[in-house]
Chains A and B, each alone.
Chain A
Amino acid sequence: MSKKFMKVQRIEHGTVIDHILPGRAFDVLRVLGISTDRSMSILINSHSAKGGTKDILKIEDVELSDEEASRLALVSPHATVNIIVEGKVVKKFNAEAPVMVRGVLSCSNPNCISNQNEPIQSEFRLSLDSEHRYVCTYCQRDIVDLARRIRS
């Protein structure tokens, strides 16, 4: 038997999210609204073959949609999504950062009208002049510490 061993078992059906920024796995679960009481494997600061570390999530019986994958990109822009059916990867794609984000985040400006009791959804626009900067369409401020602004 090889000295290599698997830290976690492969899954038969579900989604593997690879190349998550190290330490962001729980933020990913939060942004996807996936509860930790379901069956899943979470690897934190796993060594990456490309060097450095990454987090990995293996979530059983969940197939991530494109929309969910774009939400995941909010907290880990370069993650890879693998959809597994009967033990095989049937779809693989990169999480792409959405241009507009509605309802998922709360504005980091406490004085923003979107943080008040108003019948509106928060709304953020990906800035054209930056790689990963979201601007509140209400108060026009950059969102600060984005992972902590995800609504649970």
Chain B
Amino acid sequence: MRHVISVQDFSAEEIIDILDRAETMVEIAKGNDVSEILKGKVLAAIFFEPSTRTRLSFETAMNRLGGGVIGFAGTEATSVVKGETLADTIRMVSGYADAVVLRHPREGAAKLATQFSDVPILNAGDGAGQHPTQTMLDLFTIRTELGRLEGLNISLVGDLRYGRTVHSLAIALAKFGNTINLVSPEGLEMPGEVISHLEDTGRFGKACHSPEEIIADTDMLYVTRIQKERFPDPVEYEKVAGMYRVDPELVSRGPEHMIILHPLPRVNEITPEVDALPQAKYFQQAFNAVPVRMALLSMVIGGQSNV
């Protein structure tokens, strides 16, 4: 039984296999081809925290493969409000489904779930911890848009401290031999253990406080949201947010082939004018969630072998 808890549990070869499998799923994800490989299978999507893209794309992925979805989003109408432990919820839900997708506000929740589940657990984000399926769809988007997954100059921009997607993405990108630049406001820098990891692998490029310093050499610009609540002073937030805003002028200083990704939701860190530029790939990235999650579901649940 294979769980999907952290991207670090997967070798580079295994990740490539998943991306290859996702590629075969694209036409099904678009609705152009039909698949029933997970017909009769049930996915439990249990989301203890709000989610839009992750939950909907998992549900779409399961439906597109002919399976069904049960679950909840928010804990108001569940036994959790009565004080049920996560362990008991997982024991119960794993009896109803062939795989469980879990989002939870506590770090390590998905790892705990593996100890009480009879079916595969897919981590859809645990607190400020891991979000491995997001990392895989980011990698899929990079490979699709830039034609390769290695030897690239990657710049991660924004809240690198609390943004959960950037930690595992940085580690995964280093694994494939890319150089990682880190651009963040003071106080929102990448945690030390991730930087140490990048340094150990020899893939640490540059850390700076301004996107302008790295844009000219960037193949992929990964933008994350800077949350207002991280700043006690609203004026300070506005100042910092302004410095990290990606607009057509900034994009024009990057190479033509550069792509811009964002895990979404975007607030105002990428201006709407950028959406029309060929570099903007974040909505394509959001779509890619479906074939990548289809690949993962078909991998962990199994089912018929013919797509």
Contacts and interface: CB of A to CB of B under 8 A. Distances in A.
A140 B87 contact: no
Interface residues of B, number: 19
B127 interface: yes
Question: At the interface, is chain A mostly helix, strand, loop or mixed?
Answer: loop
Nearest to B191: A141
B47 to A, nearest CB: 16
Interface in B187-216: 193
Contacts of B193: 142
Nearest to B104: A113
Nearest to B83: A117
A119 B87 contact: yes
A70 interface: no
Contacts of B86: 113, 116, 118
B121 to A, nearest CB: 13
Contacts of B129: 139-140
Interface in A101-131: 109, 111-114, 116-120
Nearest to B200: A129
A141 B108 CA distance: 10
B115 interface: yes
A137 B110 CA distance: 11
A117 B107 contact: no
A139 to B, nearest CB: 4
B85 A113 contact: no
B6 interface: yes
Contact of B108 (A113, A117, A119, A142): A113
Interface string B221-257: 0000000000000000000000000000000000000
Interface string B99-138: 0000011111101100100000000001111100000000
Given A118-B85, A119-B85, A112 B6 contact: no
Given A119-B87, A138-B111, A139-B129, A113 B6 contact: no
Contacts of B85: 116-119
Given A118-B85, A118-B86, A120-B87, A113 B112 contact: yes
Interface of A: 109, 111-114, 116-120, 136-142
Interface of B: 6, 85-87, 104-109, 111-112, 115, 126-130, 193
